[in-house]
A and B are shown apart, each in its own frame.
Chain A
Amino acid sequence: MSLLRWLRSKPKEAASSQTIDAEAVRSDESHSPAPDKVKIGLQSILQNLPPHLRSLVKQQLPDAELDLPLAEIQPQLATGKIAIRSSTFRAALPDTVRSAFDGLESNLKIPIPIRAIFSQLPEEALSRPPEQELEKPAETIETPFSSHVEEDALRFDSKGKLVPPASKPAPESKKPQPTIWTKNPELVKELQAMLMTDETLDYPKVLQHLKQLPGLHSCQLNGDDGRKIAGGTADASQEAAISSLVPNLFKTLDAHVKEMHLEPLETVTFTCGKDQLSAFLHDHLCLTVLHDNRPFRPGIREKIQAVVRQLARIDAA
């Protein structure tokens, strides 16, 4: 009898344990992706679409979470760009939004932003080649740049942030240090007169005044070594290009002009479609202005030249 009781109890225990296991599995499935998939929001994908694909989505869509197969993603990691087949994409879409992508051609590839899935990638997805060796360390040689490495180590913290210089105790005398703008007040007064202002001037303010001249869009002042002093344009790469190219180009042209036995080069204008760039170089200062596609109005070029000359006098004094 006891045996019979035991035999009758066994299947129930097995069933209950199977039920527990099944519940555990479903629970796992609902809280984390299967190891062979990565989750990504639909909006992340849509925001990353190139314009010609974005135009295929005719309506505002709610966000949804998609499970994408890691097997289709992982081989592309080494290219720096991931794209999945449109069929894979459509299959991963919830039913509620799938119809919005009915127009997708089957041969299309849908870009997937790597940053959106990166944290879900398994460690082995970024494994190194097994035979890779580390570069052998060699004895340190002093180079012409070693001292600058040491200097920079003091200027920056480990994250690359500039470390403010150690504050020194304030000197007892509160006399402000003279600057080029205070050392020669007569020269600065002449510049104020040119710009028709009583305002205290510095390089940025001078350029602000110049920008008010008719037709000018932006002004940038560089040293003749390319160092940017003040001003700029709305485009950082354009600013860098102006710094690195314009002063040297001007000096090169000036050298050729001298070979032609002409008067020294004072200013040069480049017409580039609807853009115009004029450069004015005097002593160690180079002013670049971007302006309208027409000649300067009468007197404007001469005024800018006069201002640059005066700035050079102030700078040199």
Chain B
Amino acid sequence: MKYLLIALALLVITVILILPLGAVFVQAFDKGWDAYLVAIQDEETRSSIYLSLLATGVAVPLNMIFGVAAAWAVTKFRFPGKSLLVTLIDIPFGVSPVVAGLIYILVFGAQGWLGPWLAEHDIRIVFALPGIILATVFVTFPFVARELIPLMESQGANEEEAAMVLGASGWQMFWRVTLPNIKWGLLYGTVTCTARALGEFGAVSVVSGHIRGETNTLPLHVEILYNEYNYAGAFAVASLLSAVAVVALLLKKVVEWKNNEH
């Protein structure tokens, strides 16, 4: 029975997870190394890589700050509405990313609530970088907070209190006591958050407008290339995203392993 279950699990994992991932790389290098490099060095591909890195580079630090702040508020203080806040943090997990994108169109779009005001002040959010960043922040918001809340809950507020009694200011307490205690959890959450931010498709797809060379992120670019029957290009770009995923997975393992050491 035991071996049957193991075999079954292996079979499912191979067919559903490993084969497709391998196929991405096989397809990407189908026409050789040179074709791969050409596909990657294409100008629009490069601009989409740049845009994805930029959006991720802004969204992830923001979510690190939000995540730490939210986890801190929830675990170290008692206040009314606390459980509501914990529930709200999970909203992005429950809401389809497409809906998240549509929400931003509804609020910031030309016909949206703030549309006229934004147009008046010549601020572009939808179909531009700010919209892409907003959508990415929304979708990846829970990762850091979700990782930290149980960790900080189990650690309690005792060490923080000890630091305060010993004369530490709020900042000293945070930098010298809280942050070192949560650093591995924070790193773990950040890796997950980064992987998800780079790969985000749905929400970004709605707010980006797919303007080539301008508002096309990596995942959106994969879809465009694929729809144009440029399979080599699509899979080459997809292999980049897959590589990011593999690296993130390895990093998470390293962090877990480091964390268990302490």
To the question of whether A and B form a pair in one complex, the answer is no
- Chain A residues with a Cβ under 8 A of chain B: none
